[in-house]
């Protein structure tokens, strides 16, 4: 199930909740108000960082070969 972010319209508290996308019974954990709104949120994807990718594709820093591991003798 996805994690959704909410903000309470009564007290302003922000919180996350794991639930089905169709669920409508969300209650604020701070003030118990049902007056909450779902926030638009971004998601993150794990993987190599930009520097890890670029260093893997860069020429060898020792000898200048066009690819790492192709150093002459």
pLDDT of residue 2: 82
62 and 38 part of one domain: no
pLDDT of residue 27: 94
54 and 37 part of one domain: no
User: What is the span of the domain harbouring residue 48?
Assistant: 44-73
35 and 51 part of one domain: no
DSSP the chain: --EEEEEETTT--EEEEE--TT------TTT--S-EEEPP------S--HHHHHHHHSPPTTT--SSTT----
pTM passes above 0.85:
no
Give residue-wise pLDDT tens across range 12-43: 999 999 888 787 789 999 999 999 999 987 76
Give how many domains the chain has, as a whole number: 2
38 and 51 part of one domain: no
CATH number at residue 27: 2.20.28
């Amino acid at each position: 199930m996805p994690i959704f972010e909410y903000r309470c319209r009564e007290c302003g508290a922000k919180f996350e909740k794991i639930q089905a996308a169709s669920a409508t019974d969300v209650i604020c954990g701070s003030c118990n108000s049902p007056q909450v709104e779902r926030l638009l949120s971004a998601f993150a994807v794990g993987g190599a960082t930009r520097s890890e990718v670029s260093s893997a594709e860069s020429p060898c820093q020792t000898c200048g070969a066009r690819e790492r591991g192709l150093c002459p003798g």
